[in-house]
């Protein structure tokens, strides 16, 4: 049996905190684990399966939840981004994206053959993407060639910053460039609606933020894009080309559906999560560990700078691995082995007792190791 060593630890890896399964999802896993289990009553397209109720989820529940006209399931957020980029790509065309974008946004653009123009952030210590800079880069890039798409990461996966996405959407509208919102760390954690933002596409991740088994993502869009991005095959009239006809069949979609009630409820408690994150951040700062990115912070994903831990690592027995090992001893996982000076973490979904355990761990580690 292949065991997961970290299963019962407190996991503060931002990648992991929103993807933990609910009990309902665990039951769905077993019930629907077999390869093509959801396809028993498929009549040709995943999103049209009525037993189990995938049709209802994709065509009613999801569009409602993320405020879009049309939604689809993909095999991941990156695959959703690539589908849009590939559908809109033209020879020698450009995409404008924020420099805080996830690496997979860049690689999706590379795969789609798009030139990438990046909107720089404000740099240390806030790393904010401003609407002004976004407009500036759009303006510049329009002079170089056709801009077929803009992308904003909301929040980004490094600092957990939430840029002013409504103003950015307005700017993109003014420049007549469609905007894709990469909300892999938003959908399933915090309230977010495409139409309230005023953008064209929105992308989410099931395994990152919707308590689902991977790989699975979601793609939402305004109705006007359906015919372009979800264009059907010339020969197989009900199959959508950019989705290769079918995507996340199997337990991934079923865990997403099973977790949905819980996910919808937890989104309503987003205010509490932000409060908890800010509390955690303030306590870390009391230890001399500085939170970078937006302050006060508006998301559970936080980036820290710890000069004191870095100093300790220079002489610690385990060198730069000391922090990882000290945390592991205390059954806390999620800061990458070897990092001490800069690291990100998330306390999403943790109880306050667990938050205190993590804080106390940092306090002890500093106290015990400082010379």
The least CB distance from residue 245 to its own copies, in Å, is 5
Region of 21-29, 61-69, 125-133, 145-153 interacting with its own copies (CB under 8 A): 21-29
Question: Is residue 262 at the binding interface for its own copies, with CB under 8 A as the rule?
Answer: no
Cα–Cα distance measured from residue 28 to residue 73, given in angstroms and rounded to the nearest whole number: 17
From 19, 157, 204, 293, residue interacting with its own copies (rule: CB under 8 A): 19
Q: Which of residues 135-154 bind its own copies (CB under 8 A)?
A: none
Q: Which tokens sit at 231?
A: 């264009």
Q: Which of residues 296-335 bind its own copies (CB under 8 A)?
A: 333
CA distances to 150, 156, 164, 171 from 116, rounded to whole Å, are 10, 17, 21, 18
From 4, 314, 367, 371, residue interacting with its own copies (rule: CB under 8 A): 4
From 45, 59, 86, 193, residue interacting with its own copies (rule: CB under 8 A): 86
The least CB distance from residue 132 to its own copies, in Å, is 25
Give, for 270, the enclosing helix (H) or strand (E): helix 270-286
Complex with its own copies: residue 134 or 324, whichever CB lies closer = 324
Question: Is residue 239 at the binding interface for its own copies, with CB under 8 A as the rule?
Answer: yes
> What binding mask, one character per residue, do residues 334-363 give for its own copies by CB under 8 A, x or -?
---x--------------------------
From 49, 96, 98, 108, residue interacting with its own copies (rule: CB under 8 A): 108
Residues in a beta bridge with 119: 98
> Which among 209, 221, 214 has a CA at the least distance from the CA of 260?
209
> Which among 263, 336, 270, 324 has a CA at the least distance from the CA of 300?
270
Residues in a beta bridge with 149: 95
Question: Is residue 160 at the binding interface for its own copies, with CB under 8 A as the rule?
Answer: no
CA distances to 16, 79, 133, 164 from 108, rounded to whole Å, are 23, 8, 23, 24
Q: Indicate the angle between helix axes 131-144 and 165-174, nearest 10 degrees.
A: 30
> Which among 229, 305, 265 has a CA at the least distance from the CA of 74?
229
Question: Is residue 206 at the binding interface for its own copies, with CB under 8 A as the rule?
Answer: yes
# residues near its own copies by CB under 8 A: 78
Complex with its own copies: residue 46 or 165, whichever CB lies closer = 46
From 76, 163, 178, 349, residue interacting with its own copies (rule: CB under 8 A): 76
Which burial class, exposed, middle or buried, applies to 262 when counting CB atoms under 10 A from its CB (0-12, 13-18, 19+)?
Answer: middle
Q: Which of residues 208-227 bind its own copies (CB under 8 A)?
A: 208, 211-215
Question: Is residue 103 at the binding interface for its own copies, with CB under 8 A as the rule?
Answer: yes
């Amino acid at each position: 049996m292949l065991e997961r060593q970290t299963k019962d630890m407190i996991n503060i890896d931002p990648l992991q905190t929103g993807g933990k399964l609910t009990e309902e999802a665990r039951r769905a896993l077993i019930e629907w684990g077999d390869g093509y289990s959801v396809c028993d009553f498929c009549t040709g397209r995943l999103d049209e399966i009525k037993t189990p109720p995938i049709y209802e989820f994709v065509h009613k529940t999801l569009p409602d939840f993320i405020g879009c006209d049309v939604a689809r399931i993909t095999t991941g957020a990156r695959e959703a981004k690539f589908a849009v980029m590939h559908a809109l790509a033209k020879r020698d065309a450009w995409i404008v994206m924020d420099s805080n974008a996830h690496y997979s946004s860049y690689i999706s653009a590379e795969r789609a053959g798009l030139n990438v123009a990046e909107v720089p952030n404000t740099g240390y210590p806030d790393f904010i993407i401003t609407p002004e800079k976004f407009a500036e880069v759009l303006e510049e890039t329009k002079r170089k060639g056709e801009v077929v798409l803009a992308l904003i990461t909301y929040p980004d996966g490094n600092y957990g910053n939430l840029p002013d996405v409504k103003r950015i959407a307005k700017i993109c509208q003014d420049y007549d460039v469609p905007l894709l919102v990469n909300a892999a760390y938003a959908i399933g954690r915090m309230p977010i609606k495409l139409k309230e933002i005023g953008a064209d596409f929105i992308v989410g991740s099931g395994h990152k933020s919707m308590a689902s088994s991977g790989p699975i993502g979601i793609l939402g869009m305004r109705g006007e894009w359906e015919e372009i991005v979800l264009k059907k095959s010339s020969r197989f009239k009900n199959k959508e080309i950019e989705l290769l006809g079918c995507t996340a069949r199997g337990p991934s979609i079923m865990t997403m559906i099973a977790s949905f009630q819980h996910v919808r409820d937890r989104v309503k408690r987003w205010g509490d999560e932000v409060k908890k994150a800010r509390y955690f951040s303030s306590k870390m700062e009391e230890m001399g560990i500085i939170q970078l990115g937006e302050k006060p912070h508006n998301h559970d994903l936080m980036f820290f700078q710890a000069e004191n831990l870095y100093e300790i690592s220079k002489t610690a027995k385990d060198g730069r691995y000391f922090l990882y090992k000290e945390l592991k001893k205390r059954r806390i996982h999620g800061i990458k082995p070897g990092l001490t000076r800069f690291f990100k973490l998330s306390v999403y979904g943790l109880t306050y007792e667990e938050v205190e355990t993590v804080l106390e761990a940092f306090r002890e580690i500093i106290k015990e190791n400082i010379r």
